């Protein structure tokens, strides 16, 4: 295996997680780390790219740094893996798009949820047309805050660009587009319902629609108190429920997918309570699958399928539209 000389910019929770995944993969040689706290190889990301001369860089820094770091790396001839969200706003994303279009390098964004087993199984059901056509999706993605939630950088709009929708809800928006195609915003409500001291929102409701009339609804929340990830997908011939998500904290519960076939005239009087088929997952290999796709793109010239600049721009257009449509 030909190893890729790699640097990580931003050694917080995500940077350290990526470092572990890169080590486990075996195809990456971590040659430099960078963070402003001074406990790593570099404190300046430009110096890190210039002096360490990596082939690839992982951008795990705060949102306000992303656009500058991604464009600088691409212009320096370096492949880039960037965490979500793709910057603070659509302008940031479009800056990255411009640099990517002028380069010959790989650019991938960390929409990690697409690699979870429940999401992979759901996409397989959709592509196989097993339950007919998908017509409606409902999604709830919520978490509790913390004692210092209102003081975190994620709730400082100068650093983050937005609140819970941009930080977490963007994953749900990406999945809705992944399952349904392009969406436009019909209605949205962006609110501070509990966290009065926030500079950003603690709750977002949005209704979206495709050009062919499919409908999606989203609730992105920082006031869920019990962490929650739920998606309901309604088809012409059945129904799929996604519940829970395997995470490092374990706070979103067991990850499972349950599907039902439509039964309007069941023989055993099971109307409204059809047979269910449930799959539960106790292993999260999403991080490994994500890194493998990036490796194959850099070393083998394979295309990026998940987390493209188009995916990033589509999700960010929806985020910005929801904020502006309120």
Question: What homologous superfamily does CATH list for 117-245+247-282?
Answer: Dihydrodipicolinate Reductase; domain 2 (3.30.360.10)
Half-sphere exposure of 247 (CA within 13 A, CB side): 15
pLDDT of the residue at 168: 97
Decide: residue 130, CB within 10 A, 0-12 exposed, 13-18 middle, 19+ buried. middle
Are 223 and 176 contacting, i.e. CB atoms less than 8 angstroms apart? no
In the predicted structure, residue 266 carries a pLDDT above the cut 90: no
- Using the CB atoms, write b or e for 258-273: b if 16+ within 10 Å: ebbeeeeeeeeeeeee
> How many angstroms separate the first and last alpha carbons of the chain?
51
d(CA 23, CA 30): 8
Please name the residue that has the structure tokens 């999945």. 175
d(CA 233, CA 221): 20
State the pTM of this model. Answer: 0.96
Q: What angle, rounded to 10 degrees, do the helices at 117-128 and 170-180 form? A: 20
Q: Please calculate the CA angle 263-268-274 and round it to the nearest 5 degrees.
A: 35
Decide: residue 111, CB within 10 A, 0-12 exposed, 13-18 middle, 19+ buried. buried
d(CA 9, CA 184): 34
- Domains 4-112+288-307 and 117-245+247-282 belong to one CATH topology: no
Q: Please calculate the CA angle 181-178-160 and round it to the nearest 5 degrees.
A: 105
281 backbone dihedrals φ, ψ, rounded to 5°: -125, 135
By percentage, how much of the chain surpasses pLDDT 70?
99
User: Nearest to residue 82, comparing CAs of 45, 53, 51, 119?
Assistant: 45
pLDDT tens per residue across span 132-183? 999 999 999 999 989 999 999 999 999 999 999 999 999 999 999 999 999 9
In the predicted structure, residue 100 carries a pLDDT above the cut 70: yes
Cα dihedral 132, 171, 60, 8 in deg (nearest 10) = -10
Task: Pick 4-112+288-307's CATH classification: 3.40.720.10, 3.40.50.720, 3.40.50.850, 3.40.190.10.
Answer: 3.40.50.720
* CA 63 to each of CA 32, 45, 122, 194: distance values in angstroms, whole numbers, following the listed order: 21, 14, 30, 24
In the predicted structure, residue 268 carries a pLDDT above the cut 90: no
Across 108-117, average pLDDT: 98
User: Nearest to residue 167, comparing CAs of 83, 91, 104?
Assistant: 83
Of 7-16, 160-169, 262-271, 297-306, which range is least confident? 262-271
pLDDT of the residue at 159: 97
In the predicted structure, residue 53 carries a pLDDT above the cut 80: yes
* Ranges of each domain in the chain: 4-112+288-307, 117-245+247-282
Q: What angle, rounded to 10 degrees, do the helices at 63-75 and 45-52 form? A: 30
Per-chain mean pLDDT for the chain: 96
User: Nearest to residue 108, comparing CAs of 314, 324, 325, 295?
Assistant: 295
pLDDT of the residue at 273: 81
In the predicted structure, residue 267 carries a pLDDT above the cut 80: no
Question: Which runs of E-coded beta strand occur in the chain?
Answer: 4-9, 28-34, 56-59, 79-83, 107-110, 134-142, 184-191, 203-209, 215-221, 228-235, 238-243, 255-261, 276-281
pLDDT band at 249 (very low <50, low <70, confident <90, very high): confident
pLDDT tens per residue across span 176-201? 999 999 999 999 999 999 999 999 99
DSSP single-letter state for residue 55: S
User: Nearest to residue 215, comparing CAs of 99, 135, 123?
Assistant: 135
Residue 249: strand, helix, or coil: coil
In the predicted structure, residue 271 carries a pLDDT above the cut 90: no
Across 110-120, average pLDDT: 98
Omega cis (within 30) before 47: no
pLDDT of the residue at 150: 93
Q: Cβ–Cβ contacts within 10 Å for residue 276, how many?
A: 11
């Amino acid at each position: 295996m030909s190893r890729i000389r790699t640097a990580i910019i931003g050694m917080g929770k995500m940077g350290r997680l990526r470092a572990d995944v890169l080590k486990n993969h075996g195809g990456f040689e971590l040659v430099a780390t960078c963070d402003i706290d001074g406990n790593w190889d570099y404190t300046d990301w430009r110096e890190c790219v210039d002096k360490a001369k990596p082939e690839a860089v992982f951008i795990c820094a705060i949102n306000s740094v992303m656009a500058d770091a991604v464009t600088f790396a691409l212009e320096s001839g370096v492949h880039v893996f960037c965490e979500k969200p793709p910057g603070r706003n659509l302008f940031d994303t479009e800056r990255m798009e411009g640099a990517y279009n002028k380069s010959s390098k790989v650019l991938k964004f960390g929409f990690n949820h697409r690699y979870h087993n429940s999401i992979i199984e759901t996409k397989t059901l959709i592509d196989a047309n097993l339950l007919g056509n998908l017509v409606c999706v409902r999604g709830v993605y919520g978490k509790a805050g913390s004692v210092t939630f209102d003081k975190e950088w994620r709730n400082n709009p100068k650093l983050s660009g937005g609140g819970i929708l941009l930080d977490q809800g963007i994953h749900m928006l990406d999945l809705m587009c992944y399952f349904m195609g392009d969406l436009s915003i019909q209605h949205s409500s962006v609110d501070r319902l509990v966290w009065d001291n926030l500079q950003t929102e603690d709750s977002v409701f949005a209704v979206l629609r495709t050009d062919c009339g499919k409908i999606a609804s989203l609730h992105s929340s920082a006031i869920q108190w019990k962490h929650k990830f739920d998606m309901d997908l309604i088809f012409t011939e059945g129904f799929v429920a996604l519940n829970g998500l395997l995470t490092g904290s374990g706070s979103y519960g067991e990850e499972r997918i349950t599907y039902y076939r439509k039964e309007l005239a069941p023989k055993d009087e099971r109307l409204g309570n059809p047979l269910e088929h449930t799959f539960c997952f106790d292993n999260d290999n999403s991080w490994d699958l994500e890194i493998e796709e990036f490796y194959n793109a850099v070393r083998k010239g394979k295309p990026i399928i998940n987390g493209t600049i188009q995916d990033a721009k589509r999700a960010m257009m929806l985020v910005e539209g929801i904020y502006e449509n309120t």
